[in-house]
A and B are shown apart, each in its own frame.
Chain A
Amino acid sequence: MVVKLELRNVTKSYGKTKVINDLSISIEAGEFFVVLGPSGTGKSTLLKLIVGIEQPDSGKILIDGKDVTRLPPNKRNLAMVFQNYALYPNMTVYQNIAFPLKMHRIRNIPEKVRSIADKLNIGEILSKKVTQISGGQQQRVALARAIVRNPTLFLLDEPLSNLDARVRYSARGELKKLQQDLHQTFVFVTHDQKEAEALGDRVGVLHQGTFEQISSYNDLYNDPKTPWIGDFVGDYPMNFVGSKGFRPEWVELGQGEYKLEIDSSENVGGIYFIHGKTDDGESLILKADRRYKIGEQIRFSISKFKQFEASV
């Protein structure tokens, strides 16, 4: 496999806060890499470092094996889609898409813009002002502007989070398909686990300025390296009893060595999740097949668990 992007021991501080702390990663060509993390963990800063808007305090950034740490953004041949799309408001859709071509002095601009616009179904709105089109169309224009000139790497900063739910699902699917059609490398930042799960070949979980775990989403869920990952990944946090971590569905209800007093039950599409406390006062969430009464006590056993070094 060819390494497309490599970060070596990159550190970035704002004042006294270390936003990115000794972070290293290498991303392969053609990979869809998702950076997942709660807000305020430096996800956007990481993208800004890669794209060159911010300079790292120390460390190296290599693209296609070339050290670009000190290069300005316009010399790195990357494309980036910002969360708010950052469309040029004084230009039409056509002018927005043509802008990177003009800046790179590429020929046949009208043909290139036209073919990309058709591909993304925005051929009809090329002459409109970007302020007069819908959010979903704005997102496509931003994508078209990124794709049009064949950059070496795509960076996407939560590009789906400004869309309303229905458009978001279809846009997510289209994005994945687009990446596969283009055979290009995407680095995609999100706080949305469903997006990470649906899109990422690999998911890097950012915590305290560095990747706490990099693996497939399945492995993050089933085999978290640290209790923090177990807690963060998943619709419900991992349950902990002592140093054992287990998912809500990794239990058998009815009998066993543990006892749970029910606080509440919750129905998610026909599946029940029961919240409760053990005798030791630990809060757990378990999967169940029916509703339980508040205050009811049930016994359960853990069928599968992940052993962590220290208890949390």
Chain B
Amino acid sequence: MVSEYKNPRAKVAIYVGVVFFTFLVLLPLYVLFIIAFGSPSQTVAAYYPALFPTKFTLANFYNAFAGYGKILEAAFFKSLETAFIVAAIAILLGFHAAFGLSKLSFKLGSIIIALLFFSTMIPSITIAIPISATFLKLGLYDSSLGLAFAQELIVLPLTVFLIMGSLESVPKQLENQARVDGASFMQALYTVIFPLAVPGVVSAFLLSWLMSWDEFTFAVILSPVHPTLPVLIYLDSTARGNILTAASFSLLVTIPVIVLTIILSKFIKGNYLTAGITG
């Protein structure tokens, strides 16, 4: 299999494959864009919808969001707030937990990781109900922070697992060297190990952010009064069955994801990690 990569024709085949799959992923997004911004006469109302519409309008958006005003805005920012809290807690706890676990023997570490994932085996709805009862007493019910705590249950095991993978590629010797060079345990952790684990940490941030962004079960049970975006869309737009409205809402959900992914993608390149260590 390896020898295939030396063959220039195989390289071309890889590029063709990449272009094909990129196309496959981007086409639905493109269609979403033209439906949302194109004039309906050229898209949904046309007998043969144009792939490259010439007339654009913001009327679809305006019509879809008209009448929501503050509710929509509140839902959007509630989702945004929750997602950032979830992602922040996930990497804060996840990085330290992963570092601790990476210090244990492989056997013990694997057992603890398995135990962590155990919590995700229980259906969210089963846990959500007792949690909502407790949150009512604690005053966390219907709040972004409370919802973030609950979503952490699903997110954290994955985060720990992801960051552990990243930490495994950091040579143990570097921590020793940092200690010899005068770094305390904490200094070595934050000035040497953390920068090298950044690709894993950023992936974990992105993953937990995304999982929170469109999480539904906890959101609908723990925060029904002031809903998050997915819950609001479910409650209001799906029932109306209007493609133009659906496209506008879909874009509203998708655009922050794209923006965040593009911003963070430059951190997720881990191939320089061991380069300074090879003999």
Contact = CB atoms under 8 A, between A and B. Distances in A.
Contacts of A138: 276
B173 A86 contact: yes
B274 A89 contact: yes
B180 interface: yes
Contacts of B176: 48, 51, 53, 73, 82, 86
Contacts, number: 81
Interface residues of A, number: 29
B185 A100 contact: no
A89 B184 contact: no
B125 interface: no
A79 interface: yes
Contacts of B173: 82, 84, 86
Contact of A79 (B178, B180, B277, B278): B180
Interface in A67-86: 72-74, 78-80, 82-86
Interface string B249-279: 0000000000000000000000011111111
A242 B258 CA distance: 82
B271 to A, nearest CB: 10
A74 B179 contact: yes
Contact of A88 (B174, B274, B279): B174
Contacts of A73: 176, 179-180
A27 interface: no
B192 interface: yes
Interface in A49-78: 51-53, 72-74, 78
Nearest to B185: A72
A86 B171 contact: yes
Given A88-B192, A89-B196, A131-B275, A74 B174 contact: no
Contacts of A145: 181
B145 interface: no
A234 to B, nearest CB: 27
Contact of A86 (B174, B191, B273): B174
A78 B196 contact: no
Contacts of B182: 74, 100, 103-104, 149
A162 interface: yes
Nearest to B273: A89
Nearest to B181: A100
B183 interface: yes
A305 interface: no
A48 B176 CA distance: 9
Contacts of A82: 173, 176-177
Q: Which of B180, B182, B192, B275 has the most CB of A within 10 A?
A: B180
Nearest to B278: A84
Contacts of A131: 272, 275-276
A74 B196 contact: no
A141 to B, nearest CB: 10
A79 B274 CA distance: 22
14 contacts: A52-B179, A53-B180, A73-B180, A78-B180, A84-B173, A84-B277, A84-B278, A84-B279, A86-B277, A87-B277, A89-B273, A90-B196, A100-B182, A103-B181
Given A74-B179, A86-B171, A89-B273, 8 more contacts: A51-B176, A53-B180, A80-B180, A86-B276, A89-B174, A89-B196, A89-B274, A103-B183
Interface of B: 171, 173-174, 176-185, 187, 191-192, 195-196, 272-279
